[in-house]
Amino acid sequence: MRLQTLLEARWIFVLLVLLAIASSFATLWLSLFFLLLIFCTLAFFRDPDRPAPTDPNLIVAAADGTITDVIELDENEVLKAKMRRVGIFLSIFDVHTNRAPIDGRIIYRQHREGLYVDARRPDCSEKNESMTWVIQNPRVTIVVRQLTGAIARRIVAWAKIGDELKKGDRFGMIRFGSRTELYLPLNAELLVKAGDHVLGGSTVIARLPKAVGEAVSFTYNQ
Protein backbone atom coordinates (compact mmCIF):
# COMPACT_ATOMS: atom_id res chain seq x y z
CA MET A 1 0.00 0.00 0.00
CA ARG A 2 1.21 3.52 -0.80
CA LEU A 3 1.16 5.87 2.21
CA GLN A 4 0.18 9.04 0.30
CA THR A 5 -2.90 7.31 -1.10
CA LEU A 6 -3.88 5.72 2.22
CA LEU A 7 -3.64 9.09 3.95
CA GLU A 8 -6.54 10.28 1.78
CA ALA A 9 -8.69 7.78 3.70
CA ARG A 10 -7.35 8.47 7.19
CA TRP A 11 -10.59 9.89 8.60
CA ILE A 12 -12.60 7.06 7.06
CA PHE A 13 -10.33 4.53 8.77
CA VAL A 14 -10.53 6.37 12.09
CA LEU A 15 -14.32 6.42 11.99
CA LEU A 16 -14.64 2.76 11.01
CA VAL A 17 -12.17 1.61 13.68
CA LEU A 18 -14.03 3.57 16.36
CA LEU A 19 -17.35 2.10 15.20
CA ALA A 20 -15.88 -1.40 15.18
CA ILE A 21 -14.61 -0.99 18.75
CA ALA A 22 -17.85 0.55 20.01
CA SER A 23 -20.05 -2.06 18.34
CA SER A 24 -17.99 -4.92 19.82
CA PHE A 25 -19.58 -4.12 23.19
CA ALA A 26 -23.05 -4.65 21.69
CA THR A 27 -22.71 -7.51 19.21
CA LEU A 28 -19.81 -9.29 17.58
CA TRP A 29 -21.59 -9.45 14.21
CA LEU A 30 -21.88 -5.68 13.98
CA SER A 31 -18.22 -5.32 14.85
CA LEU A 32 -17.32 -7.80 12.10
CA PHE A 33 -19.41 -5.75 9.66
CA PHE A 34 -17.31 -2.64 10.36
CA LEU A 35 -14.12 -4.70 10.04
CA LEU A 36 -15.35 -5.77 6.60
CA LEU A 37 -15.86 -2.12 5.67
CA ILE A 38 -12.28 -1.40 6.76
CA PHE A 39 -10.98 -4.10 4.40
CA CYS A 40 -13.19 -2.76 1.60
CA THR A 41 -11.77 0.72 2.16
CA LEU A 42 -8.24 -0.68 2.02
CA ALA A 43 -9.13 -2.35 -1.27
CA PHE A 44 -10.54 0.88 -2.70
CA PHE A 45 -7.44 2.90 -1.79
CA ARG A 46 -5.01 0.33 -3.16
CA ASP A 47 -2.38 1.89 -5.39
CA PRO A 48 -0.16 -0.69 -7.11
CA ASP A 49 3.11 0.13 -8.82
CA ARG A 50 3.01 -0.48 -12.55
CA PRO A 51 5.71 -0.40 -15.24
CA ALA A 52 5.02 2.14 -17.97
CA PRO A 53 6.25 1.62 -21.56
CA THR A 54 9.33 3.70 -22.29
CA ASP A 55 8.62 4.31 -25.99
CA PRO A 56 7.95 8.10 -26.27
CA ASN A 57 5.46 7.44 -29.07
CA LEU A 58 3.11 5.54 -26.74
CA ILE A 59 0.37 7.23 -24.69
CA VAL A 60 -0.99 5.32 -21.69
CA ALA A 61 -4.31 5.53 -19.88
CA ALA A 62 -4.52 8.16 -17.15
CA ALA A 63 -6.85 6.02 -15.03
CA ASP A 64 -8.16 2.52 -14.45
CA GLY A 65 -11.63 1.87 -15.79
CA THR A 66 -13.79 1.18 -18.82
CA ILE A 67 -13.64 3.19 -22.04
CA THR A 68 -17.12 4.65 -22.37
CA ASP A 69 -16.75 6.84 -25.45
CA VAL A 70 -14.27 8.00 -28.07
CA ILE A 71 -15.31 11.12 -29.96
CA GLU A 72 -13.83 14.04 -31.86
CA LEU A 73 -14.74 17.46 -30.53
CA ASP A 74 -13.35 20.92 -29.83
CA GLU A 75 -11.40 21.18 -26.58
CA ASN A 76 -12.57 24.67 -25.63
CA GLU A 77 -11.15 25.18 -22.15
CA VAL A 78 -7.43 25.30 -22.89
CA LEU A 79 -6.11 24.39 -26.34
CA LYS A 80 -9.09 25.65 -28.38
CA ALA A 81 -8.53 22.92 -30.96
CA LYS A 82 -10.29 19.83 -32.30
CA MET A 83 -9.06 16.75 -30.47
CA ARG A 84 -10.08 13.15 -29.83
CA ARG A 85 -11.59 12.63 -26.39
CA VAL A 86 -11.27 9.26 -24.68
CA GLY A 87 -13.62 8.91 -21.69
CA ILE A 88 -12.81 6.42 -18.91
CA PHE A 89 -15.42 5.49 -16.28
CA LEU A 90 -14.02 4.42 -12.92
CA SER A 91 -16.28 2.14 -10.89
CA ILE A 92 -15.86 1.70 -7.13
CA PHE A 93 -13.88 -1.48 -7.90
CA ASP A 94 -11.19 0.31 -9.95
CA VAL A 95 -7.98 1.89 -8.67
CA HIS A 96 -8.69 5.61 -8.43
CA THR A 97 -5.20 7.03 -8.74
CA ASN A 98 -4.62 9.17 -11.84
CA ARG A 99 -1.33 8.82 -13.72
CA ALA A 100 0.53 10.82 -16.36
CA PRO A 101 -0.17 9.52 -19.90
CA ILE A 102 3.18 10.85 -21.21
CA ASP A 103 6.49 12.21 -19.99
CA GLY A 104 6.04 15.93 -19.66
CA ARG A 105 5.66 19.11 -17.66
CA ILE A 106 2.42 20.27 -16.10
CA ILE A 107 1.71 23.67 -17.64
CA TYR A 108 -1.90 24.12 -16.56
CA ARG A 109 -4.13 23.05 -13.66
CA GLN A 110 -7.60 24.46 -13.11
CA HIS A 111 -10.41 23.44 -10.78
CA ARG A 112 -14.05 24.03 -11.79
CA GLU A 113 -17.04 23.89 -9.47
CA GLY A 114 -20.00 21.89 -10.70
CA LEU A 115 -22.64 19.23 -10.12
CA TYR A 116 -22.35 15.54 -9.23
CA VAL A 117 -24.43 13.80 -11.87
CA ASP A 118 -23.73 10.16 -12.77
CA ALA A 119 -20.26 10.01 -14.40
CA ARG A 120 -21.66 7.65 -17.05
CA ARG A 121 -23.97 10.34 -18.41
CA PRO A 122 -22.72 12.00 -21.63
CA ASP A 123 -23.38 15.50 -20.25
CA CYS A 124 -21.32 15.04 -17.07
CA SER A 125 -18.24 16.47 -18.79
CA GLU A 126 -19.87 19.90 -19.01
CA LYS A 127 -21.83 19.80 -15.75
CA ASN A 128 -19.74 18.09 -13.08
CA GLU A 129 -17.05 19.45 -10.84
CA SER A 130 -13.69 18.91 -12.51
CA MET A 131 -9.95 19.43 -12.48
CA THR A 132 -8.28 20.03 -15.83
CA TRP A 133 -4.58 19.35 -16.39
CA VAL A 134 -2.34 20.00 -19.37
CA ILE A 135 0.85 17.96 -19.74
CA GLN A 136 3.30 18.94 -22.45
CA ASN A 137 6.57 17.71 -23.90
CA PRO A 138 8.38 18.75 -27.12
CA ARG A 139 6.31 16.29 -29.14
CA VAL A 140 2.75 16.54 -27.87
CA THR A 141 0.35 18.35 -25.56
CA ILE A 142 -2.36 16.34 -23.80
CA VAL A 143 -5.30 17.51 -21.72
CA VAL A 144 -6.48 15.30 -18.84
CA ARG A 145 -9.71 16.06 -17.02
CA GLN A 146 -10.76 14.54 -13.69
CA LEU A 147 -14.54 14.56 -13.13
CA THR A 148 -16.58 13.82 -10.04
CA GLY A 149 -19.58 11.49 -10.17
CA ALA A 150 -22.75 10.75 -8.24
CA ILE A 151 -20.70 9.10 -5.47
CA ALA A 152 -17.28 10.68 -5.98
CA ARG A 153 -17.23 14.07 -4.29
CA ARG A 154 -13.54 14.87 -3.95
CA ILE A 155 -10.82 15.42 -6.52
CA VAL A 156 -7.32 15.21 -5.05
CA ALA A 157 -4.38 17.00 -6.70
CA TRP A 158 -0.88 15.91 -5.67
CA ALA A 159 1.07 17.61 -8.47
CA LYS A 160 1.29 21.29 -9.33
CA ILE A 161 2.09 23.54 -12.28
CA GLY A 162 5.75 23.23 -13.24
CA ASP A 163 6.18 19.64 -12.05
CA GLU A 164 7.99 17.31 -14.44
CA LEU A 165 6.28 13.92 -14.62
CA LYS A 166 7.42 10.62 -16.02
CA LYS A 167 4.88 8.49 -17.85
CA GLY A 168 2.88 6.62 -15.23
CA ASP A 169 3.68 9.02 -12.37
CA ARG A 170 0.75 9.69 -10.06
CA PHE A 171 -0.56 13.26 -10.10
CA GLY A 172 -3.85 12.88 -8.18
CA MET A 173 -6.89 10.74 -7.53
CA ILE A 174 -10.70 10.87 -7.42
CA ARG A 175 -12.40 9.32 -4.43
CA PHE A 176 -15.04 6.71 -5.39
CA GLY A 177 -16.77 6.21 -8.78
CA SER A 178 -15.92 8.91 -11.30
CA ARG A 179 -14.62 9.72 -14.79
CA THR A 180 -11.29 10.68 -16.35
CA GLU A 181 -10.99 12.12 -19.86
CA LEU A 182 -7.98 12.38 -22.13
CA TYR A 183 -7.89 14.78 -25.07
CA LEU A 184 -5.48 13.44 -27.70
CA PRO A 185 -4.20 14.96 -30.96
CA LEU A 186 -6.02 13.75 -34.06
CA ASN A 187 -2.81 12.36 -35.56
CA ALA A 188 -2.44 9.84 -32.73
CA GLU A 189 -3.38 6.27 -33.67
CA LEU A 190 -6.05 5.09 -31.26
CA LEU A 191 -5.49 1.58 -29.88
CA VAL A 192 -8.59 1.17 -27.69
CA LYS A 193 -12.34 1.24 -28.23
CA ALA A 194 -15.50 1.69 -26.18
CA GLY A 195 -15.97 -1.22 -23.80
CA ASP A 196 -12.27 -1.92 -23.27
CA HIS A 197 -10.98 -2.02 -19.70
CA VAL A 198 -7.69 -0.17 -19.17
CA LEU A 199 -5.12 0.18 -16.40
CA GLY A 200 -3.78 3.63 -15.57
CA GLY A 201 -0.10 4.13 -16.30
CA SER A 202 0.16 0.77 -18.05
CA THR A 203 -2.38 0.20 -20.84
CA VAL A 204 -1.34 1.84 -24.12
CA ILE A 205 -4.33 3.72 -25.55
CA ALA A 206 -2.71 5.56 -28.48
CA ARG A 207 0.47 5.82 -30.52
CA LEU A 208 1.99 8.97 -31.95
CA PRO A 209 3.31 8.83 -35.51
CA LYS A 210 7.04 8.23 -35.81
CA ALA A 211 7.56 11.60 -37.43
CA VAL A 212 5.41 14.43 -36.11
CA GLY A 213 5.43 18.14 -36.53
CA GLU A 214 5.40 20.59 -33.69
CA ALA A 215 3.15 19.76 -30.76
CA VAL A 216 0.28 22.13 -30.10
CA SER A 217 1.96 24.81 -28.03
CA PHE A 218 0.30 26.42 -25.05
CA THR A 219 1.70 28.73 -22.41
CA TYR A 220 -0.13 29.46 -19.20
CA ASN A 221 0.72 32.38 -16.95
CA GLN A 222 -0.80 32.61 -13.50
Provide the annotated active-site residues: 178
69-98 burial string, b = 16+ CB within 10 Å, else e?
ebeeeebeebbeeebbbbbbbbbeebbbbb
First-to-final CA distance of the chain:
35
Count other Cβ atoms within 10 Å, centred on residue 47.
18
Comparing C-alpha atoms, which of 79, 134, 78, 146 is closest to residue 106? Answer: 134
Bridge partners for 73 per DSSP? 83
Count other Cβ atoms within 10 Å, centred on residue 196.
16
